[in-house]
């Protein structure tokens, strides 16, 4: 079969890579014949962290203890900020892949699996300083640096042309931005004295564009980008209201950032030959979920399942916290993060949602390009 058939044949690239792995004696066990893409590379924050922060000794943004993971396999706490699986797991499953392992779990320079790696880190943001309150974290810029190292190893493994083909068919998912906004609007934030919300958002977008250009230079051609959440509706923000309502100002600026992000992505696509985006309107999906909670099976949209105090949002989910007996009826697991059930719904939107939430295409359509 001609090489250009593989290049243009969508999922056939996986077969080609599997054959190549047999010939070159690369780790065949990492190749999933049922996958629809060769690899999933995950970047972002705690919404998709699958354990990178476990390997950061000084980080205080960790979830590798109970009650996290209470609904995970064998009730295992893995470093996911969830009662079970998170969006990274669900997205991988939809593509027939195993969850991409944490990059920092690859000890002693081990060869990264050819099916992808996760660089996501709890507390991370677009701006390098966003996670500084958590002492140790992997900023988005640092995640891109790690991806560059994986790129170099792929070139060594597969050769330049096959590595380029592999990356062009792979999916790069980026879930980031909410922490930057939460830091700005946190009580006592000093950033407010340095820049206006609009200036801060413009700085976020400028930094993000530069990092996306770097990703493009490393071979990324199919990118899923998630907008900022309706962060004013997280329990930690709701608790500032006597009635537990969403923080209107915080949500307003989340929306403004998302508007700017969509424009920036359109500009970048026009400047970058072969680059395609699938943008997920997480903000809109969250608001819809709140309005139609019962349709989705939720009865509690305000309170964290695991925590202490007002709306269970006065303390994070730690071993001494209490947690709700039925996680399925809660949207939020802790102060910030969705339950496994809510993450599953958002992942469904990403994979095959309509243009109400996925612009201009969904993940399934992105894969087929």
3-state secondary structure of 363: helix
More confident residue, 339 or 29: 339
Does 15 have pLDDT greater than 70?
no
Whose tokens are 């929306």? That residue is 255
Beta pairing partners, 304: 332
Distance CA 280, CA 358 (A): 5
Nearest to 81 by CA among 268, 335, 281, 320: 335
Beta pairing partners, 77: none
DSSP state of 99: P
Distance CA 364, CA 158 (A): 26
- pLDDT attached to residue 206: 98
Domain segments of the chain: what residues? 30-368
Give the mean pLDDT of 352-365: 97
Encode 211-237 in three state secondary structure: HHHHHHHCCCCEEEEECCCCHHHCHHH
List b or e across 251-284, with b for residues whose CB sees 16 or more CB atoms inside 10 angstroms: bebbbebbebbbebbeebbeebeebbbbbbbbbb
Q: How far is CA 212 from CA 47, 163, 259, 265, 280, in A?
A: 19, 19, 17, 9, 16
Contact 258, 336 (CB under 8 A): no
Distance CA 19, CA 179 (A): 42
Task: Kindly write down the DSSP assignment for every residue of 115-182, as one continuous string.
Answer: T--B---TT--SSTTGGGGGSS---HHHHHHHHHHHHHHHHHHH-HHHHHHHHHHSEEEEE-SHHHHH
* CATH superfamily of this structure's domain 30-368: SGNH hydrolase (3.40.50.1110)
- pLDDT attached to residue 35: 80
pLDDT band at 107 (very low <50, low <70, confident <90, very high): confident
List pLDDT tens digits, range 135-191: 899 999 999 999 999 999 999 999 999 999 999 999 999 999 999 999 999 888 889
Does 38 have pLDDT greater than 60?
yes
User: How crowded is residue 170: how many other Cβ atoms within 10 Å of its Cβ?
Assistant: 22
Distance CA 33, CA 55 (A): 31
- pLDDT attached to residue 344: 98
For the record, the structure tokens of 259 come out as: 């508007």
Known catalytic residues are: 46, 334, 337
Does 31 have pLDDT greater than 60?
no
Distance CA 173, CA 365 (A): 14
The DSSP bridge pattern shows strands 276-280 and 358-359 to be: antiparallel
């Amino acid at each position: 079969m001609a090489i250009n058939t593989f290049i243009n044949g969508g999922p056939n690239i996986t077969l080609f890579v599997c054959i190549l792995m047999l010939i070159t004696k690369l780790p065949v066990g990492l190749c999933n014949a049922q996958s629809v893409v060769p690899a999933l590379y995950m970047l972002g924050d705690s919404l998709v962290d699958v354990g990178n922060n476990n390997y950061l000794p000084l980080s205080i943004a960790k979830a590798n203890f109970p009650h996290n993971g209470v609904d995970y396999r064998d009730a295992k706490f893995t470093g996911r900020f969830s009662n079970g699986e998170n969006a990274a797991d669900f997205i991988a499953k939809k593509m027939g892949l195993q969850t991409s392992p944490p990059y920092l779990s690859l000890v002693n320079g081990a060869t990264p699996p050819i099916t992808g790696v996760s660089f996501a880190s709890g507390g991370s943001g677009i701006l390098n300083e966003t996670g500084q309150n958590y002492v140790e974290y992997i900023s988005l810029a640092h995640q891109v640096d790690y991806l560059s190292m994986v790129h170099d190893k792929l070139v060594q493994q597969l050769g330049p042309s096959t590595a380029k083909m592999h990356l062009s068919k792979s999916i790069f998912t980026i879930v980031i931005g909410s922490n930057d906004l939460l830091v700005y609007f946190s009580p006592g934030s000093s950033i407010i004295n340095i820049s206006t919300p609009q200036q801060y958002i413009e700085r976020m977008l400028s930094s993000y564009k530069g990092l996306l250009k770097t990703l493009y230079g490393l071979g990324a051609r199919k990118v899923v980008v998630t907008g900022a959440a309706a962060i004013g509706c997280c329990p930690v923000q709701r608790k500032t209201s006597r009635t537990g309502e969403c923080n209107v100002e915080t949500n307003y600026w989340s929306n403004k950032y998302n508007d700017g992000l969509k424009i920036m992505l359109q500009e970048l696509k026009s400047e970058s030959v072969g680059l395609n985006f699938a943008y997920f309107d997480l903000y809109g999906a969250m608001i819809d979920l709140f309005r139609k909670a019962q349709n989705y099976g939720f009865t509690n949209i305000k309170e964290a399942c695991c925590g202490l105090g007002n709306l269970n949002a006065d303390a994070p989910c730690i071993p001494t916290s209490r947690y709700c007996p039925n996680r399925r009826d809660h949207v939020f697991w802790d102060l910030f993060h969705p339950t496994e059930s809510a993450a599953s719904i958002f992942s469904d939107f990403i994979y095959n949602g309509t243009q109400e939430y996925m612009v201009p295409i969904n993940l399934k359509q992105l894969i087929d390009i």
